[in-house]
Chains A and B, each alone.
Chain A
Amino acid sequence: MNREKVVFSFFMILALTLNFGFFTGDVDNPSHHNVYELFAVIVVNLIATVLKFGDRSQMGAMLLATSLVALVQLFSASIVWAYVVNIQGNVMTADTMSTIISLSGGAMIANFISVILLIIETSMMRH
C-alpha cells in the first residue's frame, strides 16, 4: 500500500463529497447550504491541489488542471458571497444564493472528473 496514494485519494474524494454536500438542496434557498461546508470544500480543495505539485506524469498534469478549475470556481463563489454579504452589507437573497450554488456546481464537475481520472489511473495499474 502506498501511503502517498492514500492521502492523495482521500483528499480528492473528500473534496468531491464535501462539494456535493454543499451543492445539494434547492438552488435558491440559503438555508439549504451551509457556509461552513463551503469553507471546508475550499480548504480540502486547496490541499488536494498542493498535493499534485511536482507530479511529472501526464495524469498528474490533468489532475492538477482539474483541481485548479475547481479552485477557480470555488473562489468565485466565495468572493460573490463575501461581496454581497460583507461588502455591500445586504442579506443573502435567493438570486445570490443561486449564483453561488451554480458556481460550486461547476467546481463539483471538475472534482468529479478528478475522481474519475483517479479511478482510471488505478484501474490501469497492473499488479
Chain B
Amino acid sequence: MSLVTSLIMRQMRVPIIILIMGYAISILGMVLAEGIDDQGNPWHMSFFDAFYFVSFTATTIGFGEIPYTLSNAQRTWALITIYLTVVAWFYSLGKIISLVQDPMFREALKENQFSQQLARIPDTFILICGFGETGHALAQALTERNIHTVIIEENDKIIQTLPLEDFPLVIPGFKGDARDPEKLIQAGLQDKKCAAVIAVTASDETNLKIAVTSKLLHPDICVVCRSELEEFESNMFSFGTDFVVNPFETFANIFAMAMHSPSLHLLYDWLTGVPDTDLTTPIYVKEGHWIICGFGRFGNDLYKQLLKSNVQVTIIDPSEEKREIFLNRPENKNNDFIIGTGFDAHTLTVAGVTKAVGLISGTDNDSNNLSIIMTARELNPDLFIVARHNKKSNEKLFEATQANIIMQPSEIIARKIRTLLVSPLMIAFLNKARNQDPSWANITISRIMGALGDSVPSIWTLHINEKEARALCQVLRLGRVIRVGNLLQNPRQRENQLEAVPLMLKRKQKLLLMPTNDIAIKSGDQILFCGTPGALRSMQWSQNDIHSLNYIMTYEDTHDAFIWRKVQQFIKRSDRRNRPRQKRHIMK
C-alpha cells in the first residue's frame, strides 16, 4: 500500500465511523421504541425489522411504515433517524468523494496502474525516454513488430492521451522527468525485463544524463542515444553507450550514398523503410556547383561529404566568425564563403545560383528554409534541392516545395534506431553492401522487385536455433541437408516460391551477401530476409512444424497420430511387397 493510499484510508475513518454510529443509534432506538401491532398489542421491532426500516429511510428510499403502522413514539424516533442518518450519509459521501478526487490520490492510482501494466509485460521491453516525434515513430515501429515499449515523458498531456492512440500493444506511460534517476527506476529501468533504453528527448543534456544513469544502474542494458552536438556524442561513447545517433551525420552519410550510388541509396531506402508503404524511386544527385545555405551542424556535415566528391561549393551564412575559420583551413581553398542569409535573391545570385546544380537549405529555421527554396527555384528552376525540415507541423509546406530530398531529423533518427533494434544484421548488410560495385546494387534491386512487387518489404532475421526454428534443428540433427532454397518453398504448395529474398547469411563471424538457394544451412546460422508479411508467416510454419518441413523436403505428408502412422507404415509395407525386387533397389 502506498503512502498516499494509506493516508486516504486514514482520512476515511471518520466519515465511516460517523455512518456506523448513525445507523447504530437509529437501529437501537427503533428497537426500543414501543409500537402497536395490527391486533392492538404492544410490539417492538426486531433488529432485523429495524435494520430494514433504517436502511430504506437513511438512503431516502422510504417504503413506508412497515410492517405495522408506526405508533407516535416510533414516529418520533423515525424523525430523529431521518435527520441523523440522511445527514450522516451526505457528510460521509461528500467526504469520501472529495478524498477519492484528491490529486495526490489519483496520481498514486495512476502509478499503481503503471506498475501493474509493467508487470503484465510477458517478456522484455524497451524503455523510451521522451515521446516526441521520434519516440512516437519508434513506439509505433517496435509495437508493430511485437516488441513491448514503455514510455517516460515529462508532459502530462502526452501521457494522458497515450491510451487513446492506436498502438498494436498496450504502452504503459509514466509521467516524470527522465533526468531524475528515481523516476527512471520507477519507470522500470532496473526491471529484469528491461532490454534497452532509448534516450530521444529534445535536449542532448537530458539524453546524456539518461545514458549515464542507465549504464550505472543497469550496466548490461543496451543504451541508444540521440545526440546533435559532437561534444555530447564523445561523452556518451566514453562510458559505453552502445549507439549514439546523430541525425545530421546520419543524413550526411545517406546523402553521400545517394551521390555515389543512387541504386545503393534506393536499396537502403527500401530495406529500412516502414513496411507496406509504397516503394520510392531512385534519386540522382548531380555533380557540379553546390550552394549550402546555413553552415551549422547540418551544413557542416554535408559540406564534408561534398568535399570528398571534389565538387565546387559556395557557402552562405551570416556569421563572420565561421567565415574566418572556414577560409583559414587549407582544404577549403577552392570554395567560397559568402556572408548573407540566403533568402534574398541578391546573395543567391552572387553565390551563382543560376549556374549551380544543387542547393542545400540547412538553417535551423523552417520559414527561412522555405523562403530560400522558393527564391532559389525562381532563379533556377532546375536546381536539385535538399531541404532541412525541423518541425513536423510544417510537413505539408515542405511537401509542397517539391524539394528533391527532405531531411527530417526525427524521422532519420527513428529509422536508424528502428534498424538498430529490430534487425541488427541489417546494419552489417548495409555496411557490406557499400563496398560492392554499383552493378551489384542494381541486380539486388531487380531481384527484390521481382520477388516482392512494389511495396516496402518487411525485414526479419531467422536464427537457426531450438527456440525459433524447432523443426529445422530437429531435421538438421538427423544429418539431413536443408538448403536456403528449401526455406523459400511455400509449405502449402511446395512448387510455389514464397515472396521473400535472403539478403545475408551469418555463420559465426562470416557474412555472406545474397546467399544462393543451393547453400546448405547449419545450426547456429542467422539469415536476414526481406519479404512480405505473409511470406514470414508461411516461413515460420516450415521452421517450426515438422510436418510442413517434411512436406517441403520429402514430397510426402506425414502424420503424427499413432493410428495414422500405423496405417501409413502398413501401406508402405504392402507397397514394397507388391513392387518388383529390382525396382525397389533402384528406388533406394
**Closest 8 pairs (CB-CB, A-B):** A54-B9, A54-B10, A86-B48, A43-B24, A53-B9, A54-B6, A82-B48, A50-B16
Is B3 an interface position by the 8 A CB rule? yes
Interface string of A37-55 (1 = CB under 8 A from B): 0010001001100110111
Contact assessment for A39 and B8 in the assembled complex, using a CB-CB cutoff below 8 Å: no
Known: A39-B27, A43-B20. A51 touches B13 (CB 8 A): yes
Contact of B8 among A36, A54, A82 (CB under 8 A): A54
Is A62 an interface position by the 8 A CB rule? no
The distance in angstroms between the C-alpha atoms of A51 and B15, with both chains bound, is 11
Known: A51-B13, A85-B48, A86-B49. A56 touches B20 (CB 8 A): no
Contact of B3 among A56, A78, A82 (CB under 8 A): A56
Is B475 an interface position by the 8 A CB rule? no
Rounded to whole Å, the gap between the CB of A5 and the closest CB of chain B is 14
Number of chain A residues whose Cβ lies closer than 8 Å to a Cβ of chain B:
16
Who on chain A is nearest to B8 by CB? A54
The distance in angstroms between the C-alpha atoms of A5 and B503, with both chains bound, is 75
Is B217 an interface position by the 8 A CB rule? no
The distance in angstroms between the C-alpha atoms of A51 and B8, with both chains bound, is 13
Rounded to whole Å, the gap between the CB of B508 and the closest CB of chain A is 56
Known: A53-B10, A54-B8. A47 touches B49 (CB 8 A): no
Is A116 an interface position by the 8 A CB rule? no
Rounded to whole Å, the gap between the CB of B95 and the closest CB of chain A is 13
Rounded to whole Å, the gap between the CB of B427 and the closest CB of chain A is 51
Interface string of A69-99 (1 = CB under 8 A from B): 0000000001000100110000000000000
Is B586 an interface position by the 8 A CB rule? no
Who on chain A is nearest to B25 by CB? A43
- B-side residues, CB < 8 A to A, are 1, 3, 5-13, 16-17, 20-21, 24, 27-28, 31, 46-49
Contact assessment for B1 and A56 in the assembled complex, using a CB-CB cutoff below 8 Å: yes
- A-side residues, CB < 8 A to B, are 35-36, 39, 43, 46-47, 50-51, 53-56, 78, 82, 85-86
**10 further A-B pairs in the complex, CB-CB below 8 A; given A54-B10, A85-B48:** A39-B24, A43-B20, A43-B24, A47-B17, A50-B13, A51-B13, A53-B12, A54-B11, A55-B6, A56-B3
What residues of chain B lie closer than 8 Å to A35, measured between beta carbons? 47
Rounded to whole Å, the gap between the CB of A44 and the closest CB of chain B is 9
Known: A50-B13, A56-B6. A39 touches B48 (CB 8 A): no
Who on chain B is nearest to A86 by CB? B48
What residues of chain A lie closer than 8 Å to B3, measured between beta carbons? 56
The distance in angstroms between the C-alpha atoms of A56 and B10, with both chains bound, is 10
Who on chain B is nearest to A53 by CB? B9
Contact assessment for A54 and B7 in the assembled complex, using a CB-CB cutoff below 8 Å: yes
The distance in angstroms between the C-alpha atoms of A36 and B27, with both chains bound, is 11
Sample 7 A-B pairs with CB under 8 A, ordered by A number.
A39-B24, A53-B9, A53-B13, A53-B16, A54-B11, A56-B1, A86-B46
Rounded to whole Å, the gap between the CB of A82 and the closest CB of chain B is 5
The distance in angstroms between the C-alpha atoms of A50 and B17, with both chains bound, is 7
The distance in angstroms between the C-alpha atoms of A35 and B51, with both chains bound, is 14
Known: A46-B20, A47-B20. A54 touches B13 (CB 8 A): yes
The distance in angstroms between the C-alpha atoms of A12 and B31, with both chains bound, is 25
The distance in angstroms between the C-alpha atoms of A112 and B5, with both chains bound, is 29
The distance in angstroms between the C-alpha atoms of A46 and B6, with both chains bound, is 19
Contact assessment for B1 and A51 in the assembled complex, using a CB-CB cutoff below 8 Å: no
What residues of chain B lie closer than 8 Å to A56, measured between beta carbons? 1, 3, 6
The distance in angstroms between the C-alpha atoms of A124 and B21, with both chains bound, is 33
Rounded to whole Å, the gap between the CB of B227 and the closest CB of chain A is 44
The distance in angstroms between the C-alpha atoms of A56 and B124, with both chains bound, is 33
What residues of chain A lie closer than 8 Å to B10, measured between beta carbons? 53-55
What residues of chain A lie closer than 8 Å to B12, measured between beta carbons? 53-54
Who on chain A is nearest to B11 by CB? A54
Instruction: Give the one of B11, B13, B28, B49 with max A CB within 10 A.
Output: B13
Rounded to whole Å, the gap between the CB of A54 and the closest CB of chain B is 3
The distance in angstroms between the C-alpha atoms of A35 and B13, with both chains bound, is 27
Who on chain B is nearest to A82 by CB? B48
What residues of chain A lie closer than 8 Å to B8, measured between beta carbons? 54
What residues of chain B lie closer than 8 Å to A78, measured between beta carbons? 47
The distance in angstroms between the C-alpha atoms of A85 and B24, with both chains bound, is 21
Known: A51-B13, A54-B13, A56-B6. A39 touches B47 (CB 8 A): yes
What residues of chain A lie closer than 8 Å to B16, measured between beta carbons? 50, 53
Rounded to whole Å, the gap between the CB of B165 and the closest CB of chain A is 36
Instruction: Give the one of A35, A43, A51 with max B CB within 10 A.
Output: A43
The distance in angstroms between the C-alpha atoms of A54 and B5, with both chains bound, is 7
What residues of chain A lie closer than 8 Å to B1, measured between beta carbons? 56
What residues of chain A lie closer than 8 Å to B46, measured between beta carbons? 85-86
The distance in angstroms between the C-alpha atoms of A53 and B47, with both chains bound, is 27
What residues of chain A lie closer than 8 Å to B48, measured between beta carbons? 82, 85-86
What residues of chain A lie closer than 8 Å to B24, measured between beta carbons? 39, 43
Rounded to whole Å, the gap between the CB of A61 and the closest CB of chain B is 9
Contact assessment for B28 and A39 in the assembled complex, using a CB-CB cutoff below 8 Å: yes
What residues of chain B lie closer than 8 Å to A55, measured between beta carbons? 6, 10
Contact assessment for A51 and B17 in the assembled complex, using a CB-CB cutoff below 8 Å: yes
The distance in angstroms between the C-alpha atoms of A51 and B48, with both chains bound, is 26
What residues of chain B lie closer than 8 Å to A85, measured between beta carbons? 46, 48
The distance in angstroms between the C-alpha atoms of A78 and B11, with both chains bound, is 29
The distance in angstroms between the C-alpha atoms of A85 and B48, with both chains bound, is 9
What residues of chain B lie closer than 8 Å to A46, measured between beta carbons? 20
The distance in angstroms between the C-alpha atoms of A53 and B96, with both chains bound, is 14
The distance in angstroms between the C-alpha atoms of A78 and B27, with both chains bound, is 14
Who on chain A is nearest to B1 by CB? A56
Rounded to whole Å, the gap between the CB of A105 and the closest CB of chain B is 20
What residues of chain A lie closer than 8 Å to B31, measured between beta carbons? 36, 39
The distance in angstroms between the C-alpha atoms of A24 and B48, with both chains bound, is 23
The distance in angstroms between the C-alpha atoms of A104 and B211, with both chains bound, is 62
Who on chain A is nearest to B2 by CB? A56
What residues of chain B lie closer than 8 Å to A36, measured between beta carbons? 28, 31
The distance in angstroms between the C-alpha atoms of A107 and B1, with both chains bound, is 27
Who on chain A is nearest to B23 by CB? A43
The distance in angstroms between the C-alpha atoms of A93 and B461, with both chains bound, is 78
The distance in angstroms between the C-alpha atoms of A89 and B505, with both chains bound, is 85
What residues of chain B lie closer than 8 Å to A54, measured between beta carbons? 5-13
